[in-house]
Amino acid sequence: MESGKITFAKLCHEELLREKERDGIGLYAEKRLHSVLKRWMVDDFSTHEQKVPMRNGKLSRFVADILTLQGEIIEIQTGELYRLARKIAFYMEETDFSVTLVHPLTALKHISWMDPETGELTARNKSPRHDTVLSGISLLKPFAPYLGHERFRLLFPAVELDEYRLLDGGGPSRKLRSHRYELIPLGLLEVTCLATKEDYLAHFPADLPSRFTAKTFSKATKLRGYALYDVLAVFEALGALSRAGKEGRATLFERRI
């Protein structure tokens, strides 16, 4: 793991220098993180952006981020995971490749605010928000049929980021609906791999009562809104819980593990 952290930090530095050489600062924030993760997974450009063959040998219209010589497809998604639902379904249903889906979790982020006219940095603050493995699992509802499948696994690298935002928004602070100028990956803190069903179930809250509501689950996990109900749906698909009637107007869930 330590060698992986060192490699990740080295790649972060190299990618930042590459964008400076291209005079692309501020233009490729998401692409930079994507590129670092792609090279961290497989630093062999000949395996990147490869068309995926179907079982009959014909090339499909899908292009994988990485297609290794060992027969593994690796897809890296720094944005919304549901956008890969059709792609992953095709890989699982129409090919025999092993599939790894990589999605970074923001474990630590500092936000710096920049005056759009002068370029002056006015403040730098540590963001109180961070992702957890559970919040990552909540994004996996579109892939529920494949969770625990022998050919499918998830990697959640927990990363440290520096984010630069422009003071071009509304309100007295000019921060409301402001725009991101730069997102710089700095380092890798840890990696969570989810392959077997047991890997997912290991993250089910251990201190819940035998029957509980979504509100109780929310208190135990700090998840809210869509993330809360989506993670319940994922755990229901994994067999960790089932519906057990109502408590007033709230749905009751029953632990199965």
Instruction: Report the alpha-carbon distance of residue 140 to residue 124 in Å, rounded.
Output: 33
- Average per-residue pLDDT in the chain? 92
Amino acid found at 134: L
Instruction: Report the alpha-carbon distance of residue 144 to residue 133 in Å, rounded.
Output: 16
220 plus 192 within the same structural domain? no
**Residue ranges with strand state E in 29-151:** 48-53, 59-67, 72-76, 98-102, 105-114, 121-126
Structural domains counted in the chain = 2
The mean pLDDT value for 147-175 works out to 93
251 plus 160 within the same structural domain? no
Q: Which of 203, 219, 242 is the last residue of a domain?
A: 203
What is the β-pairing status of strands 121-126 and 105-114?
antiparallel
194 plus 214 within the same structural domain? no
Instruction: Report the alpha-carbon distance of residue 100 to residue 50 in Å, rounded.
Output: 15
Instruction: For 76-112, write each residue's pLDDT tens digit.
Output: 999 899 999 999 999 999 999 999 999 999 999 999 8
Full domain range(s) for residue 234 = 206-257
80 plus 150 within the same structural domain? yes
Instruction: Report the alpha-carbon distance of residue 185 to residue 174 in Å, rounded.
Output: 25
Coil, strand or helix: which one is 240? coil
Q: Which residue has the tokens 């700095």?
A: 186
CATH code at 250? 1.10.10
pLDDT score for 221:
96
Angle between helices 2-21 and 29-41 (to 10 degrees): 140
Instruction: For 27-55, write each residue's pLDDT tens digit.
Output: 445 588 999 999 999 999 999 999 999 99
Interior/surface letters 166-180, b for 16+ CB within 10 angstroms, e for the rest: bbeeeeeebbeebee
pLDDT score for 231:
98
191 plus 257 within the same structural domain? no
- Predicted confidence band of residue 116 (pLDDT cuts 50, 70, 90): confident
- pTM for the full predicted model: 0.89
